[in-house]
Every structure is written in C-alpha cells, then in structure tokens.
C-alpha cells in the first residue's frame, strides 16, 4: 500500500464504530481533540463518517457545556487512570476536564468539502459547539486568557510550560497506582513518575469537589494561562462565527468572545522571552520557557516580528518540523513527549495559520519536513525533530489524518482545498 492507503487503513482500523481511538493499547478510548483531527482525516474519503465522529464527541457534552477530554465508551483495564479514578458520574463515563477546542476549526474544514451536503449536519452541531465555547469563557477565561486546571487539559501534558505550576502541587499523598502507558511505549518518552503523582493529585481534587468547575478554578492546586488553548479558542471562535453567519445565526456573542480574547493577549506576552508565555495564575509568574503553545499564535493571526524571529531561531535549530520546546533551553528533550519532539498535527495547525497569512514559503517548508518524517518512519505519534526517531504510539490516528489532509499533499493542492 502507498502512504495514502496506509493512512486510510489506520483510520478504519482505529474506528470503533462512530468514534476513533488514537491508537490501540496506549489510548483505547475516545480523546477529544484527537477525535476532531480524525474527523478531518475522514473528510478526505468519507464525509458522513467525519460528521459522525464529531457527533459522537459532542454527544458526551456535560450539561454545563464542557466536552470532556476522554470518553470511556467501553471498559479497558489496560488504561490508567480509568473511569473509576475520574468518578464523574457521567453516562457514558468521562474524564472531568476538557481539551483544546479545535472541533469548530475542524468542523469548518469538513463543511468546506461540501457545504450543501453538510448543512444539516452543521446546523445540528452548531449549538453544541457554541455551548462548549461559552463554557470556556464562563469557566476557563475568568482571568482573561484561556486557562487550564490540569496539564492534561492543555493536550500538551508534560510540556515545560507547566513546570512552575506543577511545583505547587503536592503529589506525596496520592497513594499507590500502576501506570499503563509505560507498558506500551519506552518510559523515557513519557512523563516521569513525580509528574504523574501530581497529575493524579489534581484528578483526586476534582473528585473531592464533585467536579464543580467553579471550585476547581477557585480552589484547585493548579491554574495556568495557556497560550496554546487561547489561540486555538480564538481561531475556533472565528471559524464558528463564519459558520454561524452562513447558517443565519446571531453570532454577536461569539464576536464578543473574540474581542475579549484579543484584548487579553498582552497578559500572556512575556517581553523577556519575546514570545507568548504560559503564566501561573496562582502566583502571577510567567513560565519563562518557549514552547509550541506560543507558536499557535499563527493559527489565530496573532504573530508579530519578535515572535517570527523566535520561531525561526528554534525551527532552524532542528531539522524536521517545529519542536515542542526550545532546543537551546536546558529543559529540551527531543524524545520525551512534549518537551522537545515534533508533532505532525501541531505542525498542521501552525501551517493553517501560515497559509492563511500568505506565508507560503514557511508553510511549504513545514509541510515538506513533516512529510519527510512520515515517509521515513510511518504514522507515529511524534518524532525526534533532530534525527527523525519515531516516538510514542504507532499507527496513530491524527498522524494519518494529517497526512491525508495536509502533509501528503503538495502545496498547490493544499491551497486549492483551503480556497474551496
């Protein structure tokens, strides 16, 4: 099979009937933003299945509007922490936190494939997406930028952005537990035990307060402004507004959110770093590290010359894609999850912004380098940006999706689809 055929086979193979797992073994459930990318991938060869993916994701939306980061459709004892640890009382069981709201942006990409055929599906999905975006503003944008109450909520679990916030979390009383992730992949590529102890402490706090989101924000042990989610949410607002106008909906509330988030961006600009930076909202302290969340600014048309210079500096320091942490910083680890590797799906999000800004040379460079990783080693979760070593899970859904939608296409085809 060629790579297109392999990518489609991975999506089909990870399809559990209405939802897609990221990969078998390591991630046996439906993950929020993984699912949104899966939908985008399906849209290249099975548009109805793409809409089904988003519908299944939104079907587990909480009554307050939150869309959880994991939906436990069926029990799998090989995964920790499972539904019994989260104890959210939802049906089907879910986790108690959310994940980056890329679904609106992916829904627009899918709708653009065939607006007429997708109008009814989009019309049914729109109010659910709207409710989720409202949840973000009611429960996570209380300090201006979008914030997270757990590193897992960022989708960039162990990135250096969260180190200072993690220092304030006491993981000593978490109790005994058995991790499952290190049984599937090399432990050197996963978060360390002391990080995991703190992750579980935060989950236990959520259980203690009955997953009261207002209390988690006000009283929880971890609260950090996240540039990555801020930019993804900002772009999502704009995509949601475009779709809302096309459907004849009142989008004034969405436009208000967009205005609020734009005005909040100076709060996460770190002049010493010359970039957007995570901030510990419990202390007011910047993280002081440059990571991939800052470069999501391109997705939201929020770059500037200083950020451009930092992007090119860190990009030129590696060989394949944009690293998830600064290669010149002491914390850089090219194969440990979010502390250095290049992620094809993150490259694709940045590329959407570069394309929209007319920066074709940078978009093509990023596409070419991302494609080289997949051509050399297949559809892994992430890669060493220096020597191409494949890392994490194999036969990964969102990497297959990114190949079909972006990395495997030449720049002319990409532009043609974007203008459709």
Q: Which residues are catalytic, by number?
A: 157, 381
> Per-residue b/e over 14-51, b at no fewer than 16 CB within 10 Å?
bbeeebbbbbebbbbbbbbbbbbbbbbbbbbebbebbb
- Strand, helix or coil for residue 233: helix
CB 148 within 8 A of CB 49: no
**Contact assessment for residue 383 and residue 390, using Cβ atoms and an 8 Å cutoff:** yes
Within 8 A by CB and 6+ apart from 95, the residues are: 68, 69, 70, 86, 88, 152
Q: Identify the three-state secondary structure at position 20.
A: strand
Residues 6+ apart with CB under 8 A from 112: 417, 420
Strands 285-286 and 382-383: unpaired
Strand, coil or helix: 127: helix
Q: Measuring CA to CA, which residue among 57, 48, 66 is closest to residue 29?
A: 57
Query: What is the C-alpha to C-alpha distance for residues 371 and 280, in angstroms, rounded to an integer?
Result: 36
CB 322, CB 311: distance < 8 Å: yes
CA–CA separation, 101 vs 98, rounded Å?
Answer: 8
Cα–Cα distance for residue pair 98/206, rounded to 1 Å: 13
Residues 6+ apart with CB under 8 A from 314: 290, 322, 323, 326, 327, 328
Neighbour count for residue 143 (Cβ, 10 Å): 15
- How wide is the angle at C-alpha 183 spanned by C-alphas 387 and 70, nearest 5°? 90
Which 8-state DSSP code applies to residue 395? Answer: S
């Amino acid at each position: 099979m060629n790579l297109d055929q392999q990518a489609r086979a991975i999506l089909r193979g990870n399809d559990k009937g209405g939802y897609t797992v990221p990969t078998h073994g390591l991630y046996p459930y439906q993950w929020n933003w993984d699912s949104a990318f899966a939908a985008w991938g399906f849209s290249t060869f099975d548009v109805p299945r793409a809409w089904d993916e988003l519908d299944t994701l939104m079907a587990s939306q909480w009554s307050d509007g939150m869309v959880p980061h994991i939906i436990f459709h069926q029990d799998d004892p090989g995964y920790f922490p499972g539904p019994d640890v989260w104890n959210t009382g939802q049906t089907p069981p879910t986790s108690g936190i959310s994940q980056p709201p890329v679904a609106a942006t992916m829904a627009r990409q899918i709708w653009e494939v065939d607006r007429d055929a997708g109008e009814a599906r989009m019309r049914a999905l729109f109010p659910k997406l709207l409710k989720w975006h409202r949840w973000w503003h009611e429960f996570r944008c209380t300090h201006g930028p979008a914030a997270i109450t757990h590193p897992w909520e960022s989708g960039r679990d162990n990135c250096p952005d969260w180190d200072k916030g993690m220092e304030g979390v006491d993981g000593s009383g978490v109790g005994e537990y058995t991790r499952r992730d290190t049984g599937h992949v090399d432990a050197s590529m996963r978060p360390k035990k002391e990080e995991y102890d703190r992750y579980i402490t935060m989950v236990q706090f959520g259980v203690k307060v009955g997953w009261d989101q207002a209390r988690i924000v006000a009283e929880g042990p971890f609260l950090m402004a996240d540039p990555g989610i801020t930019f993804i949410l900002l772009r999502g607002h704009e995509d949601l507004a475009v779709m809302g106008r096309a459907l004849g909906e009142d989008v004034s509330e969405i436009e208000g959110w967009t205005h609020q988030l734009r005005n909040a961006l100076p709060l996460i600009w770190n002049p010493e770093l010359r970039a957007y930076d995570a901030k510990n909202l419990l202390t007011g302290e910047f993280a002081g590290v440059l990571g991939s969340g800052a470069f999501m600014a391109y997705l939201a048309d929020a770059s500037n010359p200083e950020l451009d210079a930092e992007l090119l500096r860190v990009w030129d320091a590696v060989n394949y894609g944009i690293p998830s942490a600064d290669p010149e910083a002491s914390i850089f680890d090219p194969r440990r999850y979010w502390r250095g590797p290049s992620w094809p799906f993150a490259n694709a999000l940045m590329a959407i912004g570069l394309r929209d800004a007319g920066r074709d040379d940078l978009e093509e460079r990023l596409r070419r380098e991302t494609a080289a990783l997949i051509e050399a080693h297949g559809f892994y979760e992430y890669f060493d940006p220096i020597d191409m070593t494949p890392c994490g899970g194999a036969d990964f859904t969102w990497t297959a999706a990114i190949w079909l939608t972006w990395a495997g296409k030449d720049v002319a085809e990409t532009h043609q689809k974007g203008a459709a």
